[in-house]
Amino acid sequence: MTTDTSMRTRVLTGITTTGTPHLGNYVGAIRPTVQASRNPATQGFYFLADYHALIKCDEPARIQRSTLEIAASWIAAGLDPERVMFYRQSDIPEIPELTWLLTCVTGKGVLNRAHAYKASVDKNNTAGNDPDADVSVGLFMYPVLMGADILMFKAHKVPVGRDQIQHIEMARDMASSFNHLYGEHLVLPEAVIEESVALLPGLDGRKMSKSYDNTIPLFSSSAQMKKLISGIVTDSRAPGQAKDTKGSALFQIYQAFASAQETADLAKAYAQGIGWGDAKQILFERIDREVAPMRAQYEELIGNPGKVDALLLKGAAKARELATPFIQELRHAVGLRALSSSSHTQALEKTGRVAVPSFKQYREKDGQFYFKLVDTQSKVLLQSLGFTSPKDAGLAIGRLQQNTQTAITELGAQVVLGQGVDMATLLASIEALVSEMTEKAKSKG
């Protein structure tokens, strides 16, 4: 069952390609994500958000380098591109296409309230500048592009930092608006905030972050890592004097790598007055023990960017197997469709005046359970083969209504188009049925 992609919970997250992965990224995102990606009940989608990078970075070489470094880091840290979808956002042309469809169902006022945009406006106002000075439309549209990333792959769960929760809520709103107008096509995602993951302090004790310039790169050489660690701020207590674990950046970083026992041991050493130099040596050795085995593969990939390209392109091809038919379905839903299908669909548009088709479930003499979709003239639009239980037949109908195109692909030979019925007609029929159901549910509720 769990090998069936459609049954698994889809977990998706993106990484903006503007920087070099540091220990904070490793502890806060890479390590937990790689671990979670091994859960057979989930299907992971992890991608390099390089279109998003363009919003804040206009240095082409840096974006290219960061993309390579991030991809190599994730692979070296154990992400298996065979079992997850690992791709580069800009290799999926369906994403910008969906961005446009979502742009057209997103209120401008909603985007006015996005934190990142508002922060820029507030800053301008305080400085007495034009409110939109130096604000690109890219920054303004950031949440829509992110919505497309998520909705394109029908993600259920999106692990993000707290600062991104608002974006996930906006993606939900976009999905609802779209579904309301065009039928149930998009899946409403949920943000997942990992509470247990520690925020790692940086060299100066503040949160480790590129913007504070206090980071320790995940894959610096051993010697460089040692040098950086020796620069972590401490207080001025001499060897022999008891040290506080509370508020000690060194201790917190150690804790993120060490076992409970190792952490307790270091706490004891603090109480007994370990010298800062010795404590730093212990921290260095502990981190190096975890990072060293990954370093060889990282360096191998960094030295062979073509390998990373190939791996990402393969990931994109896999992702597009889902994205290409889905964007087709969405284009059709909004009316970007073959003109020849218009005569059918016009009659089926959700004016409410036209009778819509219905699913009929029944049992045959062979003891199996069947269904068919018939129009008002009893013409068969879609016919199933036998299911062993009525529940399975019902589930298949549910999936067809949720997401017609994908369900048809997944049901495969289990369903057959009626004689002379084309796919566009079928899609339009089910769309009409679903929107009628939605309308009815609404007028009741």
Does the footprint of ligand TRP cover residue 157 (CB under 6 A)?
Answer: no
Part in contact with ligand TRP (CB under 6 A); list of ranges 144-152, 261-269, 331-339, 413-421? 144-152
Q: Which is nearer to ligand TRP, 164 or 403 (CB)?
A: 164
Cα separation, 131 vs 188, in Å, equals 33
Does the footprint of ligand TRP cover residue 14 (CB under 6 A)?
Answer: yes
Please, which residues have CB within 8 angstroms of residue 74's CB and are 6 or more apart in sequence?
A: 15, 30, 34, 46, 86
Part in contact with ligand TRP (CB under 6 A); list of ranges 9-17, 250-258, 320-328, 382-390? 9-17
Part in contact with ligand TRP (CB under 6 A); list of ranges 59-67, 156-164, 306-314, 401-409? 156-164
Tell the burial category of 162 from Cβ atoms under 10 Å away from its Cβ (0-12, 13-18, 19+).
exposed
Q: How far is the CB of 91 from ligand TRP (least distance, A)?
A: 14
User: Which residue number is nearest to ligand TRP in terms of Cβ?
Assistant: 14
Residue 371 in contact with residue 418, Cβ under 8 Å? no
Buried b (16+ CB within 10 A) or exposed e, 23-51: bbbbbbbbbebbebbeeeebbbbbbbbbb
Part in contact with ligand TRP (CB under 6 A); list of ranges 146-154, 285-293, 348-356, 373-381? 146-154
Name which position in 27, 48, 55, 150 contacts ligand TRP (CB under 6 A). Answer: 150
Q: Which two tokens stand for residue 304?
A: 């062979």
Q: How far is the CB of 25 from ligand TRP (least distance, A)?
A: 10
Q: How far is the CB of 364 from ligand TRP (least distance, A)?
A: 46
**Could you give the string, one character per residue 37-66, with x where binding to ligand TRP holds by CB under 6 A and - elsewhere?**
------------x--x--------------
Q: How far is the CB of 84 from ligand TRP (least distance, A)?
A: 14
Part in contact with ligand TRP (CB under 6 A); list of ranges 63-71, 142-150, 275-283, 372-380? 142-150
Phi and psi based region of residue 52 (left: phi greater than 0; alpha: psi -120 to 50; beta: remaining): alpha
Does the footprint of ligand TRP cover residue 158 (CB under 6 A)?
Answer: yes
Q: Give the C-alpha distances (Å, rounded to integers) separating 38 from 32, 35, 49, 78, 342.
A: 10, 6, 22, 10, 46
End-to-end CA distance of the chain: 35
Q: How far is the CB of 82 from ligand TRP (least distance, A)?
A: 22
Q: Which is nearer to ligand TRP, 146 or 229 (CB)?
A: 146
Part in contact with ligand TRP (CB under 6 A); list of ranges 7-15, 236-244, 389-397, 427-435? 7-15
**Could you give the string, one character per residue 163-192, with x where binding to ligand TRP holds by CB under 6 A and - elsewhere?**
-x----------------------------
Cα separation, 82 vs 77, in Å, equals 14
Residue 27 in contact with residue 197, Cβ under 8 Å? yes
Q: How far is the CB of 431 from ligand TRP (least distance, A)?
A: 27
Cα within 13 Å of Cα(442), Cβ side: 10
Phi and psi based region of residue 343 (left: phi greater than 0; alpha: psi -120 to 50; beta: remaining): alpha
Q: Kindly state the number of chain residues that form the binding site for ligand TRP, as judged by CB under 6 A.
A: 12
- Read off φ and ψ for residue 253, nearest 5 degrees: -65, -45
Does the footprint of ligand TRP cover residue 13 (CB under 6 A)?
Answer: yes
Residue type, 381: L
Residue 52 in contact with residue 13, Cβ under 8 Å? no
Q: How far is the CB of 47 from ligand TRP (least distance, A)?
A: 8
**Could you give the string, one character per residue 91-110, with x where binding to ligand TRP holds by CB under 6 A and - elsewhere?**
--------------------
Residue type, 101: L
Q: What residue ranges bind ligand TRP (CB under 6 A)?
A: 12-14, 16, 49, 52, 146, 149-150, 158, 160, 164
